[in-house]
Amino acid sequence: MSDSSRDQILNRLHAAIGEQPQVIPEPADLPQESLDRSQKIEKLKVLMEAVRTEVHVIENQDWTTVLKDILKKRDLRTLLYAPGTPVGDRLQEAWMQESDELPELVTYDGDIEDFKEHLFGIDAAVTSTVGGIAETGAVILWPDEKEPRLMSLVPPIHIAVLQADKIHSTFSEAIEAENWAQRLPTNVVLISGPSKTADIELTLAFGVHGPKELIVLILHENR
């Protein structure tokens, strides 16, 4: 019976700790530097590029134009996107204006159980992000009903759109500033680059399970 296992384990642990457990002081805070916005953008870009992410800083320009150029260089049939999100809606609009030589927009239709076959055949996906971390170089995703978890994992190319003002200096800062402890969603993912492995002779290879390419578009409005 696992109920009794639970009690036995907890009883043993309580006994092991004793009546007066050792009091250990709080850990010190991590040393951290405070960066201004352009420094944060630069640091995130450099670090993510170092792990083979393609990073585009888009200043005061329509990002969908840049995206279209990126896509045209690749021979893609389908692009998964999330309508109903600011990123998805803007994308849809841009495709309505002009979509020659561009992949066909597809949506995550239905639950994974029904959509699985389709999903595993899609070429690329565009998602939004809730922020970034300069210190380690990563984007933060909070997948939700509109942007399911597998959008950023199954298609071979993942394009993530990041607002420059959402880049935090450190992970600790992100957790604190946005009060994560009180409002964590089903799943949070930090992503720093394309999927990779070094399991064979420590030789780096990309795209072993997840995307082979990660493209980050940093939208920087500094007007």
Partner 1 sequence: MPNDTGPNFQQNASRALDDQQLRKNFKFAMGNFILKRKQIFSDESETEQLRQIGNTIKQRALSQLPQLLERLEQNCSRNGIRVHWAETTAEANQQVLRIMNANEANRLVKGKSMVSEEMGLNEFLQERKIEVVETDLGEFIIQLNDEKPSHIIVPAIHKNKQQIADIFHQKLPDTPYTEDVEELNAIARRTLRQKFYRAQVGLSGVNFAVAETGTLCLVENEGNGRMSTTVPPIHIAVMGLEKVVERLADIPPMLRLLTGSATGQLITTYVNMITSPRKPGEKDGPKEVHLIILDNGRSAILSDPQLRQTLQCIRCGTCLNHCPVYTRIGGHAYGFVYPGPIGKILNPQIEGLKKAGELATASSLCEACAEVCPVKIPIPQLLRRLRNESYTSEHLATVKDGGCKKNLMETIAWKGWEIINTHPQINAIGNKIMSRLGARLPRIGPLKQWTRYRTAPKLAPKSLHQLVDEEGIRHE
Q: Return the structure tokens found at 26.
A: 């709080």
Q: Return the structure tokens found at 195.
A: 């999927």
Minimum distance from residue 69 beta carbon to partner 1 (Å) = 26
Residue in the block written with tokens 């994308």 = 91
Residue 148 contacts partner 1 per CB under 8 A: yes
Q: Which of residues 179-198 bind partner 1 (CB under 8 A)?
A: 180-181, 184-198
Whole-angstrom CA distances from 77 to 43, 51, 71, 106, 140 are 33, 27, 10, 10, 27
State which of residues 19, 75, 201, 223 lies at the interface with partner 1 (CB under 8 A).
201
Q: Which is nearer to partner 1, 50 or 77 (CB)?
A: 50
CA pair distance 90, 130, nearest whole angstrom: 17
State which of residues 96, 97, 200, 222 lies at the interface with partner 1 (CB under 8 A).
200
Where does this chain touch partner 1 (CB under 8 A) — which range of 64-72, 83-91, 122-130, 177-185?
A: 177-185
Q: Which is nearer to partner 1, 58 or 160 (CB)?
A: 160
DSSP bridge partners of 105: 79
In 30-75, at which residue ranges do the beta strands (DSSP E only) sit? 54-59
* Interface size with partner 1, residues (CB under 8 A): 77
CA pair distance 216, 82, nearest whole angstrom: 17
The contact mask relative to partner 1 for 59-98 (x = CB under 8 A, - = no) is: ----------------------------------------
CA pair distance 39, 141, nearest whole angstrom: 22
183 Cβ contact partners less than 8 Å away, ≥ 6 residues apart: none
Q: Which is nearer to partner 1, 92 or 156 (CB)?
A: 156
The contact mask relative to partner 1 for 16-35 (x = CB under 8 A, - = no) is: xx---xxxxxxxx-xx----
State which of residues 34, 36, 100, 209 lies at the interface with partner 1 (CB under 8 A).
209
